[in-house]
């Protein structure tokens, strides 16, 4: 490690100025749960490390009426313990609860998970279903990018002089629900990671009038499953529809993963994960209807 | 070199540290607090668990400079007036310690759990120590130990 300088950032303004000065030579560290390992394995080799873990303005979960903003320094534990993510947003709670261990959840952040672009970022699919926006700051000002584009579009990245300050999304309506399912494995078995998030709304007859499905580890990065969404939209969730939906999803993932050693396993596992996420969503919707 | 101030086990320190030093290195090499163990060095085993500002962290994944201004509690900080902590006593009494390598981290996780939730179920205890691996005990004795510690703490032992 050739670290020359380390800074303990006290506020966002100070950090963006440091980023402006050092650019690519600097790396932001928050919880450290990925970065410290990367540093020690020489996967990254920054000259400057800027810690943002003590910056209060990055550590808040803000309820702005129709919107929620999660600061980039908010830990997974903070999300899990926040009542905002209990009812129809519980999929995000569940995703954060299934990250690592208590110690990792105490330090690790959603912001870090995003900014490090970890391909196996299991906590991301719920944020994609919510059409979240990443809010970035630099000395040049403020910029927003959609989380979906951030993952799929080469040109929509966080620039070296930008700091991810928060993740924002619109609250789902009372009759919509966000659910989540993930293979619950530790890092030792990380090869077979897989997660599915669903945001769904039904009309009075039980037909799907809104659906977003996002997956983790079914491709190069977390992504929307558009073919499955299109297939499900307007349909009632009968057993045959769900069975067919699984096939649609399996065909879509096959295009991306065929030939990889993990494909046969993931193909089977995704069936279970999709059904689990769907069942949990339906359970919630049944309850609010009663 | 970077100068930082932090509080460890109730004592204030001002230290010059290497930029790339981790918290675990600071505790073991600078302060000689050898109770905190390094197993995997990757956040998986929990042997290096300490309590930082009230929450458990794996000290192998915290850079030492990040701890500037923090309060750290390690296993050595649990004794008071020459008496070990009720959780430590309970671990001894039920035989929750075999080789002992996981024990300090395990006890720090148990302490953080009981500080938050003084009366956890067995399930909650298992969840609370789920970030701490033990290759000897099979965990049952450890969960027994935490349960006994709940009694000891209530009795003010
Ligand atoms: S040594 Fe830190 S978690 Fe294993
Ligand atoms: S007692 Fe040996 S690892 Fe737990």
- Please say whether the beta carbons of A100 and B51 come within 8 A: no
Residues of B in contact with A8 (CB under 8 A): 65-66, 68-69
Please, what is the average pLDDT of chain B? 96
Verify whether ligand 1 is closer than 6 Å to residue B132 (CB atom). no
Element (H, E) at A222: none
pLDDT of residue A193: 79
Give the C-alpha separation, A98 to A181, whole Å. 9
Tokens of residue A66, six digits: 């129709």
**Claim: this prediction has a pTM higher than 0.90:** yes
Cβ–Cβ contacts within 10 Å for residue B93, how many? 13
- Report CA(A105)–ligand 2 centroid distance (Å): 23
**Which residues are CB-neighbours of A45 under 8 A, at least 6 positions away?**
A1, A2, A39
What pLDDT, on the 0 to 100 scale, is given for residue A186? 56
Predicted complex ipTM: 0.95
Please choose, from the candidates A225, A206, A233, A220, the residue with its C-alpha nearest in 3D space to the C-alpha of residue A273: A225
Tell whether A190 lies on the interface with B, counting CB pairs under 8 A. no
C-alpha of residue B91 to centroid of ligand 2, in Å: 12
> What residues contact residue A109 under an 8 Å CB cut-off, 6+ apart?
A30, A31, A72, A73, A74, A75, A76
Q: Is B136 in the pocket of ligand 2 (CB under 6 A)?
A: yes
Is there a contact between B56 and A77 if contact means CB atoms under 8 Å apart?
A: no
| A6 contacts chain B (CB < 8 A) | yes
A187 close contact with B: CB closer than 8 A? yes
Q: Where are the domains of chain B?
A: 2-77, 86-154
Distance in Å, alpha carbon of B43 to nearest chain A alpha carbon? 7
Which tokens sit at B139?
């965990």
The whole-number pLDDT of residue A258 equals: 86
Give the Cα separation of B88 and B75 in Å (integer).
9
Which portions of chain A are predicted below pLDDT 70? 1, 119-120, 184-192, 290
Does the structure show a pLDDT above 70 at B157? no
| Residue B125's pLDDT band (cuts 50, 70, 90) | very high
CATH entry, B86-154, from 3.40.120.10, 3.30.360.10, 1.10.150.120, 3.30.2130.10: 1.10.150.120
The span from the CA of A250 to the CA of A87, in Å, is: 30
B86-154 and B2-77 share a CATH fold: no
Domains and CATH numbers, chain A: 5-51 (3.30.43.10), 56-170 (3.30.465.10), 176-289 (3.30.390.50)
Q: What is the pLDDT of residue A220?
A: 86
| Residue of B102, B106, B132 best suited for mutating to test ligand 2, as the one with most atoms within 8 Å of CB | B102
**A81 interfacial to chain B (CB closer than 8 Å):** no
B74 Cα to the center of ligand 2, angstroms:
18
- The pLDDT tens digits of the residues spanning B28-82 come to 999 999 999 999 999 999 999 999 999 999 999 999 999 999 999 999 999 998 9
A17 touching B (Cβ < 8 Å): no
CATH number listed for the domain at residues B2-77: 3.10.20.30
Determine the Cα–Cα distance for residues A282 and A177; give it in Å rounded to an integer.
9
The residue whose CA has the least distance to atom 3 of ligand 2 is B134
């Amino acid at each position: 490690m050739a670290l020359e300088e380390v800074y303990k950032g006290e506020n966002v303004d100070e950090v963006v100025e440091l980023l402006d000065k050092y650019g690519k030579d600097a790396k932001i560290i928050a919880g450290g749960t990925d970065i410290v390992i990367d540093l020690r394995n020489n996967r990254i080799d920054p000259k400057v490390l800027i810690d943002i873990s003590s910056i209060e303005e990055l550590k808040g979960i803000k309820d702005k009426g129709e919107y929620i903003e999660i600061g980039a320094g908010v830990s997974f534990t903070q999300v899990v313990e926040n009542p905002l993510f209990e009812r129809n947003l519980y999929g995000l709670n569940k995703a954060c609860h299934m990250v690592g261990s208590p110690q990792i959840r105490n330090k690790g952040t959603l912001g870090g998970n995003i900014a490090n672009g970890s391909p196996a970022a299991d906590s991301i699919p719920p944020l994609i279903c919510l059409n979240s926006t990443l809010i970035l700051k630099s000395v040049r000002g403020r910029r927003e990018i959609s989380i979906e584009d951030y993952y799929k579009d080469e040109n929509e990245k966080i620039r070296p002089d930008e700091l991810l300050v928060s993740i924002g999304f619109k609250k789902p309506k009372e009759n919509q629900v966000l659910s989540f399912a993930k293979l619950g494995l530790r890092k030792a078995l990380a090869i077979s990671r897989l997660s599915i998030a669903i945001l769904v709304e039904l009309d009075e007859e039980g037909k799907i009038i809104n659906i977003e499905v996002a997956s983790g580890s079914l491709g190069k990065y977390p992504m929307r499953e558009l073919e499955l969404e299109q297939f499900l939209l307007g349909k009632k969730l009968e057993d045959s529809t769900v069975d067919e939906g699984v096939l649609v999803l399996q065909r879509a993932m096959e295009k991306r993963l065929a030939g990889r050693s993990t494909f046969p396993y993931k193909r089977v596992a995704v069936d279970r994960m999709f059904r689990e996420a769907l069942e949990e969503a339906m359970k919630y919707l049944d309850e609010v209807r009663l | 070199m970077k100068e930082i101030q932090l509080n460890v086990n109730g004592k204030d320190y001002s230290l010059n540290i290497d930029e790339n030093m981790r918290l675990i290195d600071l505790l073991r090499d600078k302060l000689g607090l050898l109770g905190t163990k390094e197993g995997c060095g990757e956040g998986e085993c929990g042997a290096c668990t300490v309590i930082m500002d009230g929450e458990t962290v794996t000290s192998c994944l915290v850079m030492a400079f990040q701890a500037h201004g923090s309060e750290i509690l390690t296993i050595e900080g649990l004794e008071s007036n020459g008496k070990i902590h009720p959780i430590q006593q309970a671990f001894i009494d039920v035989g929750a310690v075999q080789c002992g390598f996981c024990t300090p981290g395990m006890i720090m996780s148990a302490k953080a759990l009981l500080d938050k939730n003084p009366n956890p179920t067995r399930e909650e205890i298992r969840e609370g120590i789920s970030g701490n691996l033990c290759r000897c005990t099979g965990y049952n004795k450890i969960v027994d130990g935490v349960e006994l510690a709940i009694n000891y703490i209530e009795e003010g032992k």
